[in-house]
């Protein structure tokens, strides 16, 4: 079995790391570059940096942030927010990002996934999907959770995979920031029906929640924010906990 990944996520607004509940009521959590460097030292497998207002405010993800991050990290990182073109993606790759994450732009223009995969390779492309359970199904939301679409989560995730996405980063808006655990049933459905890795996001509040994500949820990686930002769970302790319960984890490995 492949090692399961622990991924701290840093949501960026106006150059600062923020965290809220259900995508709202944001509070400051610190400098993203400093936090990223700290998590790298603590043994995180990867990092995700998302400019959560880039699409809504019609802004591009700043390449300078990627350059600053790359100078201080020894592990892979993904960066997303406001990526609409191959040129946007190339700028971030050139600045040092290992992967890019696309969300709203991919839903509006699905061919962007095909273009990115052909140009850079599927391993470079993470499709992030924010969804909420309503009226008996999971529905995809855009613009940082502000706009509901008519796309169903499983249907859209399958299309994204078919178009060349290398991973799906699924965030349950219902669970986001609640610390009540991940959306296990739908995460397991995604993992079962898709041929690519699924990153579970939204709801982590304890070490047991990560264990559930990897067992019941069948996730390939688990992402969390506030529990790491505010020192509630140490990454090394989390990995030791998972290891003792039979979950394969990576002990600190670094990119050259």
* Selection from 44, 11, 3 nearest residue 233 by Cα: 44
Among the options 45, 51, 88, 130, which is catalytic? 130
98 carries an active-site annotation: no
> 11, 45, 51, 88: which is the annotated catalytic residue?
11
In sequence order, the β-bridge partners of residue 130 are 141, 171
Instruction: Judge whether 70 and 93 are in contact, CB under 8 Å.
Output: no
Active site residue 174: no
Nearest one of 254, 170, 224, 171 to 10, comparing CA atoms? 224
**DSSP calls for the chain:** -PPBEEEEEEEEETTEEEEEETTEEEEEEE-HHHHHHHHHHHT-S-EEEEETTTTTTT-PPPHHHHHHHHHH-SS-EEEESS--SHHHHHHHHHHT-SEEEE-HHHHH-THHHHHHHHHH-GGGEEEEEEEEEETTEEEEEETTTTEEEEEEHHHHHHHHHHHT-SEEEEEETTTTTT-S---HHHHHHHHHH-SS-EEEES---SHHHHHHHHTTS--SEEEESHHHHTTSS-HHHHHHHHHHTT--B-------
* Residue positions annotated with a catalytic role: 11, 130
């Amino acid at each position: 079995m492949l090692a399961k990944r622990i991924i701290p996520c840093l949501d960026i607004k106006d150059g600062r790391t923020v965290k809220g509940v259900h995508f709202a009521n944001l509070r400051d959590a610190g400098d993203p570059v400093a936090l990223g460097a700290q998590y790298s030292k603590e043994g995180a497998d990867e990092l995700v940096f998302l400019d959560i207002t880039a699409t809504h405010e019609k802004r591009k993800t700043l390449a300078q942030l990627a350059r600053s991050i790359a100078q201080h990290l020894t592990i892979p990182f993904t960066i997303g927010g406001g990526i609409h073109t191959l040129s946007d993606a190339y700028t971030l790759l050139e600045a040092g990002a290992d992967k890019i994450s696309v969300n709203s732009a991919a839903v509006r223009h699905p061919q962007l996934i095909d273009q990115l995969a052909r140009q850079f390779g599927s391993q470079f492309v993470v499709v992030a999907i924010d969804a909420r359970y309503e009226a008996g199904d999971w529905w995809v939301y855009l613009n940082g959770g502000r706009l509901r679409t008519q796309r169903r989560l499983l249907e859209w995730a399958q299309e994204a995979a078919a178009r060349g996405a290398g991973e799906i980063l699924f965030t349950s808006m219902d669970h986001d920031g609640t610390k009540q655990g991940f959306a296990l049933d739908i995460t397991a459905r995604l993992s079962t029906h898709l041929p690519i890795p699924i990153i579970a996001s939204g709801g982590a509040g304890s070490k047991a929640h990560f264990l559930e994500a990897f067992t019941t949820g069948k996730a390939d990686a688990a992402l969390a924010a506030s529990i790491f930002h505010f020192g509630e769970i140490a990454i090394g302790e989390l990995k030791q906990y998972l290891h003792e319960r039979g979950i394969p984890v990576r002990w600190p490995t670094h990119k050259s």
